[in-house]
Structure 1
Amino acid sequence: MKSEEAARKLGVEAASLSPAPAAPRFAQTWARMQQEPPCSACGRPSRTSSVIHDPDHGSRWLDRCRECFLATPPTLRVPPGRLLEELREVAADTRLRLRTYTDEGGWEGE
């Protein structure tokens, strides 16, 4: 799920969030996470930070605690099957031992 969708699902209004850079560098996001600002949804200490882009309010920080993050997991950029295929290829190319577990096939790579 994209950050904007996560904010909607958690009932967070963009107007209530702190302004953020449009495209923060990793160091900026990491620095914010180290401060553990309150979760934008429930107020507990946050564990992750991202940026939403709202047409009326611009870029805003969306901070989520562990529970709120798990309730709104990020969207994978590729289908899970393709991700596993690519991971297996990279592991084979680098001669790393890889074991994966899927609900469908159980443990693979033993």
Structure 2
Amino acid sequence: MNHEEAARKLGVDPASLSPAPSAPRFAQTWARMQQEPPCSACGRPSRTSSVIHGQDHVPCWFDRCRECFLATAPTLRVPPTRFLEELREVAAGARLPLRTYTDEGGWDGE
């Protein structure tokens, strides 16, 4: 799920969040995370910070604690098997060793 979907699932109104840079540099996001602002959903100290973009509001910070992040974790845009196939192809093309572990097949690449 993307950030906007996560905010909806957690009942967070983006209009209530702090304004953020449109495209923050990693250093800006890291500095915010080090401050541990309150989770946008529950108020506990946050562990992740990201920016929500929307048509009805300016870019804003979306901070989540560990529990709220895990409840709304990002999802892959492709099935996991396809993702692993593409990852293996890229690693082979770059001549990088790759070992993956899945619950179904155990370790691959040993």
TM-score band (shorter)?
0.7 to 0.9
**Displacement of 1:71 after TM fit?**
0.6
**Displacement of 1:103 after TM fit?**
2.4
Q: Which moved more, 1:99-108 or 1:66-75?
A: 99-108
Aligned pairs for 1:65-80 (under 5 A) are 65-80=65-80
List runs of 5+ in structure 1 lacking aligned partners: none
List runs of 5+ in structure 2 lacking aligned partners: none
1:37 equivalent in structure 2: 37
2:58 equivalent in structure 1: 58
- Name segments (4+ residues, structure 1) moved above 4 Å: none
**Secondary structure at 1:12's aligned position in 2?**
coil
**Displacement of 1:88 after TM fit?**
2.2
Looking at structure 1, the residues matched to 65 and 27 of structure 2 have their Cα atoms a distance apart, in angstroms, of 19
**Displacement of 1:77 after TM fit?**
4.2
Change in CA separation of 1:95 and 1:4 when aligned onto 2, cut-off 3 Å:
closer
Identity %: 83
Looking at structure 2, the residues matched to 24 and 77 of structure 1 have their Cα atoms a distance apart, in angstroms, of 23
Looking at structure 1, the residues matched to 35 and 83 of structure 2 have their Cα atoms a distance apart, in angstroms, of 32
2:84 equivalent in structure 1: 84
The reply on whether 1:6 has 2:6 as its aligned counterpart is yes
Looking at structure 1, the residues matched to 96 and 41 of structure 2 have their Cα atoms a distance apart, in angstroms, of 43
Deviations 1:50-78 (Å, cap 9, x if unpaired)? Answer: 11123322111100011111110113244
1:25 equivalent in structure 2: 25
Q: Please give the TM-score of this superposition, normalised by the length of structure 1.
A: 0.85
**Secondary structure at 1:87's aligned position in 2?**
helix
